[in-house]
Structure 1
Amino acid sequence: MNLSRYDLNLLVALRALLEERNVTRAGERLGLSQPAASNALARLRRQFGDELLVRSGQAMELTPLARALLDMVTATLTMAERTYEMTSEFDPVASTRRFTVVGSDYGLSLLAAPLRELDVVAPGVHVRLDLLRAEHLRDPEGLLRRADFMVAPRAWLHGLPAAHLSTDEWVGVIDRANRAVGDRLTMDELRTLRLVGLFDEPPGDAHIGRQLEVLGIESDGRISVESFLEVPFLVEHTERLGLLPRRMAERSARSAHIRLVALPFEAAELVEMLCWHPRADPDPGHRWFRTLLGAAAAPDRVSGS
């Protein structure tokens, strides 16, 4: 393919326009005037033979082609940025590199302590933390073409280089005023209490939802969320039961009207891993960042469970 036929700078404009869905904001992000950003959009529309952005009320929406292009252009530019950032050495003090980490709110909370060091050891480095969504779990390798790292349970990963971040046990959380339940749930209580579930379709058999299914436990009136932090607030002042990693449950109990209860079965531990695309293995900056996050151990290729 003869790339000289194309203005590759338009890919940068395309990503900004599709992410911002606003010509003025995209121009500001790119350091362009509004007319120049509009001109870039017009050229892109001619290039792809598609409107890309269409008016919907007061907002602009992506066309079906634009939605497909967004993931592709993000992955392409991420790989290009990594190419130019690849050096034989990495100086964190002088670097202005950007890293993106995707994970659940619980997974990202594990990074808070190491990231406090950035202001001292790498003041110019930027870090973006994005929330993990259920669709990411169906194609983690595709996600890691666009992001530098993903924090996810070991049971959800297959064939990716990864390093251990944390191990935690599952506990139940109920409203603090619920005295019908003791300090340890019974199997009958587990079957009858309305459950706040985490991730409706988890891909790993070791996920707590899958473990309940193996025990033949289903809950009517179930609420499912993709946020660990929401669980305590969906439980307090109700008769519901939530399931959380112990460390998050203990922190939540300080502010939410909940208390912890032990589970009536031996649940598999929640093992959180930091994983990345194999192409990033030789990148010195990437190695430095994963060491900063506490994942300095030699990477294992996670086979899943």
Structure 2
Amino acid sequence: MIIDYNHLARLDLNLLVAFDALLTEQHVTRAASRLGIGQSAMSHNLGRLRKLFRDDLFVRSESGMQPTPRARALALHVRAALSEVQATLRPDGAFDPARAERRFRLGIRDDLEVAMVPPLLAYIARAAPGVSLDVQQLDPERLLESIDDDRLDLAVGVFHQGRTHHKRRVLCRSDGFLCLFPRAAHDPAERLTIAHYASLPHVRVSTRAECEAAIDAALAKRRYQRRILLDTPHAISVPFVLQQLRAMATLPRRTALVAAASLGLATANVPFPLNGYSIAMLWHASYDQDAAHRWLRDTAMRIAGELDAAPPATAATGAR
């Protein structure tokens, strides 16, 4: 994001603080008291805010100063901006998740999103109701640029890149792969052979290039070749595609189990060895000592540990 210095130089940050106080209290006198200023000063700030945003922002009613639609639209952005400023100026300050209001931008591959984001968000909803997530699809070619330009707080995936100003922490080891398919493609009670695996049309996830290349190499070593029916960058769509086709996909184990349990598909062990991999977190070093960011990373580690310890999802499966 390019900073418009001329525009921002005319903005008094205290006006945004006053806006947030008015939004919280919905009363000029109480908002003024919260900021430690007089009522006339707060009224003056409200006038400046109205001029800045070209909107009344707050209108009088029997129950107090009610925010206009424009004010409600601004509320989340102003609160997020103030939270970011506060965290930046007090990186070592205490972080109370139960009272904090923060929006984290999380970059994650969609197959990992299926397995990890629901339990992560459920925990956040209980422990930190003012915290929210903005989940973004990872673009491997622009990953470091997104982190450096502060478009991502944290990335989760399989990373080999990184510079001296990036921090990396292994989140967990992959728990292997499973084949995912409709029952019309294979009887899950029977062992899946490599010949049958190769004979079926396959759905391939193009964003997992290394994994897909490893599958093709393992097959070629055994003189087999699979036919690719569909290449897609979206792993999350694969189970829905398989509901309509007599085809197969090879997915991370927990993602496949979640899909099988949710959509009535079946799973089986991959009929040849596939090496696992490490799933890691990547972030900018400037956030390394940020208390809120540390909490998010520690929470992600907690969720990853719980997923590793949890029994497999209940699903009709031929995986043994």
SS at match of 1:163: strand
Partner Cα separation in structure 1 for residue 207 and residue 4 of structure 2? 45
Q: Does residue 251 of structure 1 match 2:258?
A: yes
Query: Aligned partner of 2:216: which letter?
Result: E
Q: Does residue 119 of structure 1 match 2:135?
A: no
Partner Cα separation in structure 1 for residue 98 and residue 187 of structure 2? 56
Partner Cα separation in structure 1 for residue 112 and residue 146 of structure 2? 16
Q: Which digits, 9 at most, give the CA deviation of each residue in 1:26-62, with x for residues without a partner? A: xxxxx989x959xxxxxxxxxxxxxxxxxxxxxxxxx
Report what 2:112 is aligned to.
107
Q: Provide closer, same or farther for how the CA distance between residues 9 and 97 of structure 1 changes in structure 2, counting only shifts above 3 A.
A: farther
Partner Cα separation in structure 2 for residue 183 and residue 10 of structure 1? 71
Shift of the alpha carbon at 1:181? 8.2
Q: Provide closer, same or farther for how the CA distance between residues 81 and 174 of structure 1 changes in structure 2, counting only shifts above 3 A.
A: same
Q: Which digits, 9 at most, give the CA deviation of each residue in 1:7-39, with x for residues without a partner? A: 13799xxxxxxxxxxxxxxxxxxx989x959xx
Partner Cα separation in structure 1 for residue 204 and residue 175 of structure 2? 18
Q: Provide closer, same or farther for how the CA distance between residues 95 and 240 of structure 1 changes in structure 2, counting only shifts above 3 A.
A: same
Partner Cα separation in structure 2 for residue 190 and residue 119 of structure 1? 41
Partner Cα separation in structure 2 for residue 202 and residue 255 of structure 1? 23
What CA RMSD, in Å, does the superposition of the two structures yield over aligned residues?
Answer: 3.6
* 8 Å CA contact retained: 1:163, 1:296: no
Q: Does residue 137 of structure 1 match 2:144?
A: no
Which of these residues, 134, 138, 159, is aligned with residue 128 of structure 1? 134
Superposition pairs for residues 115-264 of structure 1, below 5 Å? 115-132=121-138, 136-144=139-147, 145-154=150-159, 157-158=161-162, 160-165=167-172, 167-179=174-186, 183-198=190-205, 200-202=206-208, 205=210, 207=211, 209-215=212-218, 216=220, 218-264=225-271
Query: Aligned partner of 1:140: which letter?
Result: L
SS at match of 1:6: helix
- TM-score of the superposition, structure 2-length normalised? 0.59
Aligned pair count reads 227
Report what 1:27 is aligned to.
none
Partner Cα separation in structure 2 for residue 250 and residue 184 of structure 1? 17
Q: Which digits, 9 at most, give the CA deviation of each residue in 1:183-221, with x for residues without a partner? A: 4433333333211011x2546x4x2x0212323365434
* 8 Å CA contact retained: 2:185, 2:247: no
Shift of the alpha carbon at 1:272? 2.4
Partner Cα separation in structure 1 for residue 244 and residue 129 of structure 2? 44
- TM-score of the superposition, structure 1-length normalised? 0.62
Which of these residues, 291, 297, 311, is aligned with residue 290 of structure 1? 297
Task: List gaps (5 residues or longer) in structure 1.
Answer: 12-30, 38-77, 298-305
Q: Provide closer, same or farther for how the CA distance between residues 151 and 4 of structure 1 changes in structure 2, counting only shifts above 3 A.
A: closer
Q: Provide closer, same or farther for how the CA distance between residues 251 and 7 of structure 1 changes in structure 2, counting only shifts above 3 A.
A: same
Shift of the alpha carbon at 1:295? 5.7
SS at match of 1:294: helix
Task: List gaps (5 residues or longer) in structure 2.
Answer: 12-48, 56-79, 305-320
Partner Cα separation in structure 1 for residue 193 and residue 279 of structure 2? 27
Q: Does residue 8 of structure 1 match 2:11?
A: no
Query: Aligned partner of 1:212: which letter?
Result: I
Q: Provide closer, same or farther for how the CA distance between residues 121 and 250 of structure 1 changes in structure 2, counting only shifts above 3 A.
A: closer
